[in-house]
Amino acid sequence: MSEQLPVVSLFSGAGGLDLAVERADAEPLATDDPGSGLLRVSVATDYNEPALETLKANFHDTKTLTGDIREVPTDQILATAGLQSADPVLVVGGPPCTPFSKSGFWLEQKRESRDPNASLLDEYVRVVREARPEAFILENVQGLTYKTHKAQFERLLKALGELGYNPQWKVLLAADYGVPQLRRRVFVVGRRDGERFNFPEPTHSGWSEHSRSVDASKIPHVTAAQAFAGLPLLVRASEEEIVDGSYGELAAEIPPGQNYLWHTERYGGRNHFEWRSRYWTFLLRLDPNRPSTTLQAQPGPWVGPFHWENIRTDSDELRARRLRVNEMLRLMSFPDDFKIDGSRADVQRQLGNAVPLELGKAVARALMSQLGYMDRERASRFAAFA
């Protein structure tokens, strides 16, 4: 394209949502299709420099700005990209989800929504107010919509509504859009002209932890085995991949799709744990015939999902293994050649915080179609294809 539409990215992380908007008109589930270049992320911001290094390695034309958003003026963000107020077509981003995630609920301040990072929602509103984009996409964990955080969520919607953007929100399941992962995220989308945004219809269907109903008119959910198809098979695992230690033997004995409950009196393993005494993902193994559970950013040493196949250690013992980088990329529907430096744990931290590519593409594609930048017939054909 001779002229690309500028996008401002906040809380960019590794760039999952950024990649989604730049590939909004790419073929669904075709990770080697970069799209036509309709949208370009002109500037990306984050406080985490390693995450921005990942973004720089994959977005060569994007300017980056490192810093605490609470201390970075909107004018500076726009100037970094050579933009002025009302120039951006989109502002996108997901404020850090720690205050609203299940993983922090044992902390009283998070149960009561007193985590200081919750104020980052207000910073997102501030940039939208001052940058005046044609539209915005905000995403976060489903927990933001829970009763516990009702005050913060309602304040966010009210503030964006007062700017005239008529914000619409919906919790979407990534697997319903072709992502091989049962990951739920809330999206808030608004348009400067006040027109109502309509969320894209799911293209896939299958049973999840919340529902066993399946829409036979849609494509079946993509399974973990389908996602891993074509990846190289390695007999030996690196040391950081091996699930060993206190629960090493127990983890290796758990069948695909099962967790620590296998080793309770109600199942066929050892009677080692009390029934429902641990979190669901404790010693969880992937089921090859279903999408993965949510890929967590900072799991403990015994938190899955682990691969369904065991590996042999140098001492010839069977052990479960953690997912490899190329497998995590597939579960996030990212391109195989997406570059992330660091250890396996560093990669999982960045990918676990990211937006699955195909989920983000579905939302961005619907928005750009409704704004008139994409042909509606073409967008509909994409949806049917996915």
Determine whether 97 is an active site residue.
yes
Angle, CA 177 vertex, CA 172 and CA 182 arms, to 5°: 60
**The one catalytic residue among 24, 39, 69, 97:** 97
Phi, psi of 4 (to 5 degrees): -100, 150
State the Cα–Cα distance between residues 96 and 174, nearest whole angstrom.
19
Number of neighbours of residue 15 by Cβ within 10 angstroms:
30
On whether the CB atoms of residues 28 and 17 are closer than 8 A, the answer is no
Active-site annotation, residues: 97
